[in-house]
A and B are shown apart, each in its own frame.
Chain A
Amino acid sequence: METRATRIGLRIATVLVIAFLWIPLLIIMLYAFNSSSIQSWPISSYTFHWFRDAWHDGDVRSALWLSARVGLLATGIALVLGSAAAFAIHRFRFFGRESVSFLLLLPLALPGIITGMALNSAYVFAGVSFSIWTIVTGHATFCVVVVYNNVLARLRRTSPSLIEASMDLGADGWQTFRFVVWPVLSTALIAGGLLAFALSFDEVIVTTFTAGAQTTLPIFILDKIQRGQQLPIVNAVVFVVILATVVPVIISQRLTHESGLLRRR
């Protein structure tokens, strides 16, 4: 009896939490199609008008372009450094291995405001002027961690004998990489990269400290909302940002769960 009550209670709680998380998102996304420029409920008629306006808006375009470039660059750096670090930690036992692992994970645990302030004062101290690279560096701090975690988890779940089995069956080093190592790791790299991009694309806090006068898409949104300007266009932009972050996260979830690793069932 009690278990049944608990089960029903848990279900209700789950539904409520999901509703709490998703209903505001859905409402905002609906507003993007509201033909009236005043946000009022219920929405009387729908239009694609604001998307067209946003697309032709110069500020929106340059913000979108900057965000996309930052996201791609930070993801690229994260893929190289994150997987290199994961390989090193996985393959070799060296002095200070645990500390290196800890230092890599720290940026994810540290509040963005601390990372941002620290980077900001470092740039000022070193006399570096703000550019796309200052933002990319800031984003890379947490993007590297995401790729590192994904690749390391995959390496740990992969049988170390796979490479030996491949060589045993006549594959040389390059063939082993191409036919075994890459296929086994690629989904983890892609998943990590997509997550890193999603994190970078909607990042605000670190960006405010590292962007100087540059405007990324999230900064643009924040700015317009604070001033109460161009709200219908902002809704359309928000719609795009939600898609650009939710979709990669969903794909990356699927990749890490469907990847064909040997799991004992």
Chain B
Amino acid sequence: MAVESRAETERQHPVSPVAADVRLDRVTKNFDDVTAVDDVSLEIERGSFFALLGPSGCGKTTTLRMIGGFEEPNAGTIYLGEEPVTGKPPYKRDVNTVFQSYALFPHLSIFENVGFGLRRRGVRGADVRGRVTEILRLVGLSGMEKRKPRQLSGGQQQRVALARALVNRPRVLLLDEPLGALDLKLRKQMQLEMKAIQHDIGITFVHVTHDQEEAMTMADRIAIMNGGRIEQLGTPGELYEHPQTAFVAGFLGISNLLPGTVSAMDAVRLDDGTTVKVPQEALRGRSGRVAVGVRPEKIRLGHGEENRLSGHLLETAYVGVATQYVLDTRAGNISVYVQNSEPGAQQAVTGEISWSPDSTFVVDSMEGAEAE
């Protein structure tokens, strides 16, 4: 009933200017006593590269499988475009999946693997040949048509799996850790290639990964999942610059989190008494105990910026393009990255650091989370 009335309102007032290709409306999935996906709502814009990012077991695969039709939600509705698809079997949904294990048909040639979906939909003869040849060229596998999957390397099998799904020109392509079985170098290369392919053909990609770097490299928008819920959704830049929870801040790279208490519309008093200026919008809706965050590379040596702390140097580590310093301050330990190209980067640190209020973010106090 609730779903119906909501769909009605939306017909009268279209919500977003760009149509959503996939929409999850308060979707929940339980397995026995485990809640794998907990009341998740999200919209995935047409033609975007969307990533579901989170640690193992947070419900990413389950979410993807519900979109593909391999699991049915216990509650909530899934829409592909305007159409609710909950309850429809996979073969009646206009989506295709790239499986983590690739799931190539071992008894069929590469050509027949890629042509499988076309044939099931009644495409015949020369049309199949034309489309399969074209997509194999796109993924760089021309000339492999006659081989069997086991005669290909892991990277090539991965491309076949991609081609087999893309050749059907689905509304949405689902990818479950598609690069997980490849070695690091190949993975980096495929990340860029897949991004380029998605850009070329303009199909919506929904990409599941636990690798934050992979998600940041490939996706236009990322939903960070934790314990079956979406912690935060946004562009890679937004998530990195303005994480809203300690979990998101910690999951995307290193961050310094300093406990304190909200003291003004745009300030937080740290536990050592220092006051830190923060952007007003970062504080919205918060009072009492919070944690103030700043990324190590946003911190400068010396007291040139508005937010200042002093301490003494604990450690120095040379990490290629940058040098990492760890300082002991009364507000807590703080990591600082200084580009090695910057003048004076190698000099001994005086113990004075500072950063701009614009680079500061605020998350809920971690004390409660730790007690949990």
Q: In the complex, which residues of chain B have a beta carbon less than 8 angstroms from the beta carbon of A153? A: none
Q: In the complex, which residues of chain A have a beta carbon less than 8 angstroms from the beta carbon of B149? A: 260, 262
Q: Does B28 contact A (CB under 8 A)?
A: no
Q: Assess the B91–A164 pair: CB atoms within 8 A.
A: no
> Which of A136-144, A165-173, A228-236 lies at the interface?
A165-173
Q: Assess the A159–B107 pair: CB atoms within 8 A.
A: no
Q: Assess the A261–B106 pair: CB atoms within 8 A.
A: yes
Q: Assess the A184–B99 pair: CB atoms within 8 A.
A: no
> Which of B15-23, B114-122, B222-230, B270-278 lies at the interface?
B114-122
Cα of A130 to Cα of B106 in the assembled complex, Å: 46
Cα of A179 to Cα of B113 in the assembled complex, Å: 11
B371 to chain A, nearest CB (A): 37
Nearest neighbor of B154 in chain A, beta-carbon distance: A264
**CB contact under 8 A between A169 and B96, given known A180-B105, A184-B107:** yes
A151 to chain B, nearest CB (A): 16
Please classify how large the interface on chain B is, using the bins under 10, 10 to 19, 20 to 34, 35 or more.
20 to 34
Q: Assess the A167–B89 pair: CB atoms within 8 A.
A: yes
Q: In the complex, which residues of chain A have a beta carbon less than 8 angstroms from the beta carbon of B97? A: 164-165, 168
Q: How many residues of A contact B (CB 8 A)?
A: 24
Q: Assess the B121–A170 pair: CB atoms within 8 A.
A: yes
Q: In the complex, which residues of chain A have a beta carbon less than 8 angstroms from the beta carbon of B96? A: 168-169
Nearest neighbor of A186 in chain B, beta-carbon distance: B107
Nearest neighbor of A163 in chain B, beta-carbon distance: B103
Partner of B117, one of A170, A172, A259: A170
B154 to chain A, nearest CB (A): 8
Query: What 0/1 readout, one digit per residue, does chain A (163-203) give for beta carbons within 8 Å of chain B?
Result: 01111111110010001100110000000000000000000
State which residues 45-102 of B face A: CB under 8 Å: 68-70, 89-91, 95-97, 99-102
Cα of A263 to Cα of B149 in the assembled complex, Å: 9
Cα of A262 to Cα of B106 in the assembled complex, Å: 6
Q: Assess the A164–B148 pair: CB atoms within 8 A.
A: no
Partner of B90, one of A167, A180, A262: A167
Q: Does B150 contact A (CB under 8 A)?
A: yes
- 6 A-B pairs closest in CB distance: A161-B103, A169-B117, A170-B120, A165-B103, A167-B90, A183-B107
Give residues in A with beta carbon < 8 Å to B. Answer: 158-159, 161-162, 164-172, 175, 179-180, 183-184, 259-263, 265
Q: List 18 A-B contacts (CB under 8 A).
A: A164-B70, A164-B97, A164-B103, A165-B99, A165-B103, A167-B69, A167-B89, A167-B90, A167-B91, A168-B95, A169-B117, A169-B168, A172-B91, A183-B105, A183-B108, A259-B107, A260-B107, A262-B104
